[in-house]
């Protein structure tokens, strides 16, 4: 068995994994160790990798079933790999708000893998936030209130949809109007822990509430769930790969590198309906 090292990068979540070449087939014990690290640390990072799209996809299949991203087409030669690109002249970055991926789907993804092909000389980090801690740090009274609520999530909420417009326009794509209703507090199907499951990018209201009625509580939750003590920050290098658990994290790609190109390849792994 390959000897891998798992090194936490922050108190809340996140760990770098050393000692594995993702371009090679994973032995079952190594895949199990990586999955255990993901469940413990919520987002894991690998450095110095050299991956073709097919190799990235093969690695992803060790942990789930890759699915197409609903808003953009994948690479022509590998449709399950979605390019995530910001060009030198563009001001908006893709997905540049706090969010969990595609919460507007009936079955949101269990996780995503992002691989860095080109990075700016500085900037372009990604922040991650632990939604177990976000839920567990709420008062018992607010926890009881949230347990019975359902969030209405939409692909057209302005905070997130505007970050996709440039890339979709360049690709000749139109924004698909999609919506999904999910528990505000979801139980992780593998760990059994409860996580806060609303996000500023997609959650528009609580089911049965108007948007005006929902706004004060949602705004409180949006601010609460990304407090610094719940987060980690990852500095990308060429050849870095991040793998996050979409069921209990949020992420936010920082848009601070205008004038530089950033090119990533993403694989999205299918998930189940939140409960």
Catalytic (active-site) positions:
99, 101, 251, 266
Cβ-contact 113, 59 below 8 angstroms: yes
Strand partners, 253: 126
DSSP 19: S
Report d(CA 103, CA 218) in Å as an integer.
Answer: 15
- Pair of tokens at residue 30: 């190594």
> Using CA atoms, how far apart are residues 13 and 5, in angstroms rounded to an integer?
16
Beta-carbon count within 10 A of 254 CB: 13
- Beta-carbon-side half-sphere exposure of residue 144 (alpha carbons within 13 Å): 3
Lookup result for tokens 């409860």: 194
Q: How far are the Cα atoms of 59, 109, 112, 114, 271 from residue 64, in angstroms, in the given order? A: 10, 10, 10, 15, 8
The answer to whether 68 and 83 have CB atoms below 8 angstroms apart is: no
The two three-digit tokens of residue 132, written as one number: 């177990």
């Amino acid at each position: 068995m390959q000897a891998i090292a798992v090194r936490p990068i922050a108190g809340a979540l996140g760990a770098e994994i050393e000692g594995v070449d993702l371009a090679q087939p994973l032995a079952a014990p190594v895949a199990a160790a990586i999955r255990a690290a993901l469940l413990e640390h919520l987002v894991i990072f690998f450095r110095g990798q050299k991956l073709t799209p097919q190799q990235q996809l093969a690695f992803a299949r060790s942990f789930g079933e890759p699915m197409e991203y609903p808003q953009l087409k994948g690479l022509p030669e590998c449709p399950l790999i979605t390019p995530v690109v910001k060009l030198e002249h563009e001001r908006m970055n893709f997905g540049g708000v706090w969010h969990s991926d595609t919460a507007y789907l009936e079955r949101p993804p269990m996780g995503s893998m992002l691989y860095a092909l080109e990075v700016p000389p500085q900037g372009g980090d990604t922040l991650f936030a632990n939604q177990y801690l976000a839920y567990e740090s709420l008062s018992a009274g607010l926890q009881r209130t949230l347990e019975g609520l359902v969030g209405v999530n939409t692909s057209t909420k302005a905070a997130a949809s505007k970050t996709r417009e440039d890339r979709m326009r360049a690709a000749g794509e139109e924004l698909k109007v999609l919506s999904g209703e999910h528990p505000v507090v979801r139980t992780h199907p593998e760990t059994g822990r409860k996580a806060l499951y609303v996000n500023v990018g997609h959650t528009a209201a609580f089911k049965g509430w108007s948007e005006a009625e929902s706004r004060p509580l949602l705004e409180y939750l949006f601010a609460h769930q990304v407090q610094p003590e719940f987060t980690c920050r990852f500095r990308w290098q060429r050849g870095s790969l991040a793998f996050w658990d979409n069921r209990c994290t949020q992420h936010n790609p920082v848009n601070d590198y205008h004038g530089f190109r950033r090119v990533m390849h993403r694989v999205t792994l299918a998930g189940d309906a939140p409960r």
